Amino acid sequence: MWFNVSMVQSGKKKVLCFETDEQGISMKIYQGVVLTLEVIVLIVKMYATWFYSIYKFFVPPEPKSVKGEIILITGAGHGMGREMALSFAKLGGTIVCVDINPTGNQETVEMIKDSKGKAHSYLCDVTSRTSINEMAEKIRKEVGDVTILINNAGIMPCKPLLQTGEKEIRTAFEVNCLAHLWTLQAFLPAMMERNHGHIVAMSSMAGVIGLRNLVPYCGTKFAVRGMMEAVHEELREDPRDFSGIKLTCICPYIVDTGLCKNPKIKFPSLMKILSPQEAVEHIVDAVRREYHEITIPSSLYYINQMFRVFPRSVPLHIKDFLDSGLEAQ
């Protein structure tokens, strides 16, 4: 009789294992059956989720209430940040407005209070981790635990890479990208304690496709999407239950806030420049329906997904045909 000898891991120890040829064959058949069953379960799960997603496309989830939520918005002193603050305040949220610009931030707070909403103003340069942590401590004492965190503050150097200075590049990454990590470290633990919360990140269509004159900006916005996906996985794979913490990533095209100074659009009906109010309607809806990621306009999401399956030069032809983007400023 022949024996097969192998080392098998048993807990922390390795154990020498002897088995006859017959036992070896039975073991291989057993492992084959288990693997086949696992693949069948995987295929069933994939199809079930796929059909469920199609169903959800036609029957979207009901928008959740944000009444009583403490909603922190960075960059609340202007543009989409301000519009989000006004919209979420109307829906009954307590808004924590955060900005580096005291005048703009205070104006947003006054506008909310004038329409009988609840708002608080905190000045903070989101590039400073120390300032974020100090502010977080103050907010916890003065307002309570933040339950919806909207990382919106952003800047956009718009010129060819070789004309962009080191400081501009570093600051773009600090505001658009690193600040998200500092606020997550400051506010996520309280959400995890209660298994309740929502993190919203402003990426951009420049975080989905590369665009000329926006090399560092595209880098920051692609990074935001990557970080959001990774945080999602970290929460999903944690043995504790964090299913009550939702994540939404927003990818607008061009919104008329003054950030994009020289937009170039060949087909305005397909890729219209939106007002901040129009864009924020989509953002608030996506947050309330707990969508994982949206583009504004939504058609760009499907166009991008569709053309990504073609060889790389095919979507480039479409991009050349659409001939849209930003001129250097």
Ligand X SMILES: NC(=O)c1ccc[n+]([C@@H]2O[C@H](COP(=O)([O-])OP(=O)(O)OC[C@H]3O[C@@H](n4cnc5c(N)ncnc54)[C@H](O)[C@@H]3O)[C@@H](O)[C@H]2O)c1
Contacts to ligand X by CB under 6 A = 74-75, 77-81, 99-101, 104, 124-127, 152-156, 175-176, 202, 204, 252, 254-255, 257-260
* Min dist. Cβ of residue 122 to ligand X (A): 10
Task: Based on the residue annotation, tell me whether 217 is a catalytic residue of this protein.
Answer: yes
Q: Is the CB of 245 or the CB of 251 nearer to ligand X? A: 251
Q: Is the CB of 69 or the CB of 107 nearer to ligand X? A: 107
Q: Is the CB of 93 or the CB of 325 nearer to ligand X? A: 325
Of 30, 47, 55, 217, which is the active-site residue? 217
* Min dist. Cβ of residue 105 to ligand X (A): 7
* Min dist. Cβ of residue 286 to ligand X (A): 14
Q: Is the CB of 78 or the CB of 282 nearer to ligand X? A: 78
* Min dist. Cβ of residue 28 to ligand X (A): 54
Q: Is the peptide bond before 276 cis (omega within 30 degrees of 0)?
A: no
Residues recognised as catalytic: 217
